[in-house]
């Protein structure tokens, strides 16, 4: 599914242009920095100096979930549940606050809405949706 792969990868770049200024502007310290506690994994040193608000992982996970749910409406409930759980895991693991995660979901949804207004994205979406449908029909 080359078009789907490229489209999802480009969405990461699109997110960086949106979230980087916000993270720098708010520069909210992460929970494990301000309230030292265990995390689910040993945080990389750069993570402690990276802003917590909004959650970029949540934004991307939610954006991908929205796109994939539209491509596979019969699996939308499961895809959206996974997108929500991915964001929640950032809070559960102690690297984001609940408000970071909620803001990430808003950023992700806004990004998808903006992308859907782009004719190039819509064209890629149509091709990627066909790729996904064909792969699912073939049992891949």
CA triplet 51, 4, 115: central angle to 5 degrees?
A: 55
Q: Catalytic annotation on 122?
A: no
Instruction: Give the residue from 66, 73, 82 showing the smallest Cα distance to 116.
Output: 66
Q: Catalytic annotation on 74?
A: no
Q: Catalytic annotation on 124?
A: no
Among 57, 77, 88, 140, the active-site one is 57
Among 14, 28, 30, 100, the active-site one is 100
Instruction: Give the residue from 115, 58, 122 showing the smallest Cα distance to 86.
Output: 58
Among 28, 30, 90, 105, the active-site one is 90
Instruction: Give the residue from 115, 107, 71 showing the smallest Cα distance to 87.
Output: 107
> Annotated active-site positions, please?
57, 90, 96, 100
């Amino acid at each position: 599914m080359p078009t789907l792969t490229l489209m999802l990868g480009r969405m990461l770049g699109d997110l960086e242009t949106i979230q980087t200024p916000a993270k720098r502007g708010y520069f909210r310290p992460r929970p494990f920095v301000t309230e030292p506690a265990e995390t689910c994994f040993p945080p990389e040193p750069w993570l402690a100096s990276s802003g917590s608000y909004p959650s970029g992982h949540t934004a991307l996970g939610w954006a991908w979930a929205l796109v994939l749910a539209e491509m596979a409406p019969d699996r939308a409930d499961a895809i959206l549940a996974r997108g929500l759980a991915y964001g929640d895991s950032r809070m559960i693991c102690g690297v984001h606050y609940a408000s970071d995660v909620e803001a990430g979901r808003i950023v992700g949804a806004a990004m998808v809405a903006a992308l859907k207004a782009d004719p190039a994205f819509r064209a890629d979406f149509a091709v990627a949706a066909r790729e996904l449908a064909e792969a699912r029909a073939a049992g891949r």
